[in-house]
Amino acid sequence: MKKTTSILVLTTCLISACGGSSKTVNPVNDNNSNGQSLCAAQAIPDGAECIGVDGRQNLVFGDTSKEYKGLILTLHGAPGYMAKVADIFNANMLEEKGYLVISPNGNGSAWQWDSNTDANIGDDSNYIANLIDYAHANYTVEGDKARIFGYSAGGFMAYTLACHIPEKLVGIVALAGQYRGDFAACSTTTAVAIHHLHSPTDMEVPVNGRASGNIKSVEDTINHWLSINGCAAQFEQITHPAVTTDSSGTVTNSWQQCATPVASSKLFTVPHESDYLSDALYEIYQSSMALEN
């Protein structure tokens, strides 16, 4: 297990002296009474360290001495925690493939993120924007953007970020979590890659949405980004592997002539809470997110 790192970084620091060319972070041990390393009061998984940015703790799978092909942020559900979503998408696998992975901690509210999209940029959108800047200032990562991978309520937040800070995103992967809020509040014309994965039998976050929480349907969510990304009505249908050992398979629709990709995958016979196969998930969203093998 990596050493715990805890750093308080002020927002103003992100645009001044905290970047530099040294690409270093300052380690500070944060242990419980039993000597176990913790991050936001949770055990730190193998391969990760803990950093504090603007008062929040985040898991990081990466090293300042390495060069990375891109930045991936994984957003957890509600209730949920950083290590869980990092495990769903297998942050260690992504790091081995050459991507810096950060799993930020939510805000502690019932929804964990300011994901009910409105016209005003919320604190969480600003925080994620600052975290992206921090990562590029303190690690060696190509470009200046990020890919957002969200599960459940983290998927809700991924769509909010696609509305609020699309200029900072390559794309989003939303697993079992669609758009929340009124579409009129998401008036962006900036295209980002979208890949939605959802089971038609999901009972906790239904594909048809629900009034409680103002959760839109998957169909309406995808249609909104088909318009933003300028896609044609035609799509290619692809058979993909099952994402759990009990699933009967996956079918993906990938729309044509989009400015950036839009795809939606039906995960058959997959409960909301499942032991997801991260390598199968990767195979499904890899092309949409322009990720290398």
**Which domains occur in the chain, in start order?**
11-285 (3.40.50.1820)
> Dihedral of the CA atoms 256, 200, 291, 240 (nearest 10)?
-80
* Share above pLDDT 90 across residues of the chain, in percent, rounded to a whole number: 84
Q: What mean pLDDT is predicted for residues 118-137?
A: 92
Kind of pairing between the strands at 193-198 and 169-175: parallel
Phi, psi dihedral angles at 24 (to 5 degrees): -125, 155
CB 92 within 8 A of CB 47: yes
Q: Give, for 222, the enclosing helix (H) or strand (E).
A: helix 218-228
Buried b (16+ CB within 10 A) or exposed e, 232-244: eeebeeeebebbb
Predicted TM-score (pTM) of this structure: 0.90
CB 124 within 8 A of CB 154: no
Structure tokens at 284: 């499904």
- What is the predicted pLDDT for the residue at 216? 98
Distance CA 65, CA 220 (A): 43
- What is the predicted pLDDT for the residue at 14? 34
pLDDT confidence tier of residue 194, bands split at 50, 70 and 90: very high
